[in-house]
Structure 1
């Protein structure tokens, strides 16, 4: 899907467990800054529902548990308009997924435990003018 990037990350074994990088500037995933980092906790089976942004780029990383990230390209001028994309990521299969503006996305927590998803957005959330469009979860 045009503008979507996936960076699979290899955990590094240490004497106390594993170290997994989340983001490195040199990966040059999209050339954009990191304006805010936040964490979402998803209960088992929780679904975020479809949402998109007008100007914000999301970068999703699941640090605990696993999730399925689903994308729909809603950008009419995109050569991949109408395309659908799914990827399962998480602690066992770490990756960061870059989602550009105009791409609808939803996340579902898989498995019996909570999932923690970090989002490294390029623009901090503006409480007075949210850049967020939502559809009902059953859409």
Structure 2
């Protein structure tokens, strides 16, 4: 897949970071930083161990609003899987985390994988636009399509990228 500078609808913003003698602060989310059609409804925090990854997968309805304030540094690989998109089949790789605090907005139809590219746990804060398992967590449908198998073109492409880098074994 062809690597491109940007994918249609993907937003990457630097997160404002402040520090003084007491410590530091990173703004991870502001409603006025997002387009009006991207409205988060929940949040969660995930930690990914060094050399591990989450994905690749995509959502049909949900926007993912990922904040990477640190600790840890990530490589976020994105593939445009939307038939109508002018950047269809394009691939984008974003560095984010403690070294580059960033917000990454991932639209539906963008396949994505988050890899911890550092020696410490990676913190990711997500502000998605749909509730996991629906209202009251009583629905089985999660709007997620996983591509974590050898037949997946996204997995094959990612596995090529992993050559020479760490990889978890489950």
| TM-score bin, normalised by smaller chain | over 0.9
Q: Counterpart of 1:36 in 2: which secondary structure?
A: coil
Q: Radius of gyration: which is bigger?
A: 2
Structure-2 residue corresponding to 1:131: 143
Higher helix fraction (1 or 2): 2
Structure 2 residues not aligned, in runs of 5+? 1-6, 134-138, 156-170
The CA deviation at 1:2 is 0.6
TM-fit CA distance, 1:133: 0.4
Q: Which structure ranks higher in relative contact order (CA pairs < 8 Å, sequence separation ≥ 6)?
A: 1
- Runs of 4+ aligned residues of structure 1 deviating over 4 Å after TM superposition are none
1:101 is aligned to 2:108: yes
Q: Greater CA deviation, 99-108 or 120-129? A: 120-129
- Report the aligned-residue RMSD: 1.4
- Equivalent position of 2:32 in the other structure: 26
Give the number of the structure whose residues are more often strand, by fraction.
1
Q: 1:43 to 1:85 in 2, by over 3 A?
A: same
